[in-house]
Structure 1
């Protein structure tokens, strides 16, 4: 079984978008309701048009309740993105627990497939692509590239080094952009773009990681 903690991990020092962290179940449910409302609006109108007043009205809450948690609309979007990223990692970890990861490519393919799944069934997930990437303090590469690199080292012996993280970061950016485009074209995901995402990423990584994978085998 893969070490899924390498995917879940922790985010040390990451800024929080929520003004007041909920300490009781009722407060947590209220916060989720506000983010659910924001997600619906993003899917219907796009993130550019979202306002705090819209969130309040959709959630059936007062504007004061929204401002209790979020200073402005940007903070709402950041919090929605953080929730989307967290749910993506959780879904990816769950999928890896069930999967038979026979080679390094299985890890990357699963990361792409889970991303597409979240576009289908996680409202507001498109803000994950629209917002700036979460990067590592170590080298500026995407945080997900670091997590995938650590997992690939643990499972397949491919050294977690700068070049590997760079190549994974590039490939995940390419794949993410094509997946995002697939769902812009078709609410269910344009299969041509989804197939191209896997093909292009596989060819790119074969060019840059296949030799390292062979050496580690």
Structure 2
């Protein structure tokens, strides 16, 4: 079984946009309810129109409750984005633990398919890429590419130079994410042509730049 902890990573020590860190179950449930409400609004109207008042009304909470956790709408979007990213990584890790990996392409495919599944099944997932600029959030591709690269290196070896592997995977993931995002902008269920093209182009790009170094890599 691959070391999925590489994908999940340690708990981030970055400054959180939540004013009060919930420590009790009731408080945690309240926070999740607010983010669930925000996710529904994002799916219905887009993240641009989201307000703290809308979140309060949808969650059946007072505006004071919202402000207890989030100072403004940007903090709501940031927290929703962070939760969506965490759940995406958990989805990737669960799938990697479930499937039999025979070559390094399988790892890349799992990441792409998990992204499409998240758009279909995770409310508000579009905020991950759509609201990145508004929330001044870091791009997730470089960090996630680093995690994927570490997993590939550990499981399959190969002769690819680590820095080059991470750079190329970062480009490939960004390319795939852009096309997958576009697929769900075109159709709610995902335009299958765009989804297929995302996988094809990612494969072609990585084969061109890393094919010789990783072509013979197989699971030990």
TM-score (norm: length of structure 2):
0.93
Paired position in structure 1 for 2:120: 120
TM-score (norm: length of structure 1):
0.94
Which residues of structure 1 form unaligned runs of 5+?
none
How far apart are 1:135 and its partner, in Å? 5.4
Paired position in structure 2 for 1:188: 189
Distance in 2, Cα, partners of 1:134 & 1:11: 16
How far apart are 1:134 and its partner, in Å? 3.8
Which residues of structure 2 form unaligned runs of 5+?
none
Matched, 1:5 2:5: yes
- CA gap of 1:46–1:65, structure 2 versus 1, over 3 A, is same
How far apart are 1:165 and its partner, in Å? 0.8
Paired position in structure 1 for 2:74: 74
Distance in 2, Cα, partners of 1:33 & 1:181: 28
Distance in 2, Cα, partners of 1:134 & 1:32: 23
How far apart are 1:200 and its partner, in Å? 0.4
Paired position in structure 1 for 2:173: 172
Paired position in structure 1 for 2:212: 211
Paired position in structure 1 for 2:101: 101
1:82-123 C-alpha deviation (Å, 9 max, x unpaired):
000000010100000111111111100110000000000100
Paired position in structure 2 for 1:197: 198
1:6-61 C-alpha deviation (Å, 9 max, x unpaired):
10111543221111110100000000000000000000000000000000000000
Distance in 1, Cα, partners of 2:216 & 2:115: 29
Q: Is the 8 A contact 2:103 2:217 kept in 1?
A: no
How far apart are 1:160 and its partner, in Å? 6.2
How far apart are 1:173 and its partner, in Å? 0.4
Distance in 1, Cα, partners of 2:161 & 2:81: 27
How far apart are 1:211 and its partner, in Å? 1.2
Report the secondary structure of 1:19's partner residue. Answer: coil
- CA gap of 1:135–1:4, structure 2 versus 1, over 3 A, is same
Report the secondary structure of 1:142's partner residue. Answer: helix
* Runs of at least 4 residues off by over 3 Å: 132-136, 214-217
How far apart are 1:191 and its partner, in Å? 0.2
- CA gap of 1:100–1:215, structure 2 versus 1, over 3 A, is closer
Q: Is the 8 A contact 1:8 1:93 kept in 2?
A: yes
Paired position in structure 2 for 1:27: 27
Distance in 1, Cα, partners of 2:93 & 2:217: 24
What's the RMSD between the two structures over aligned residues? 1.6
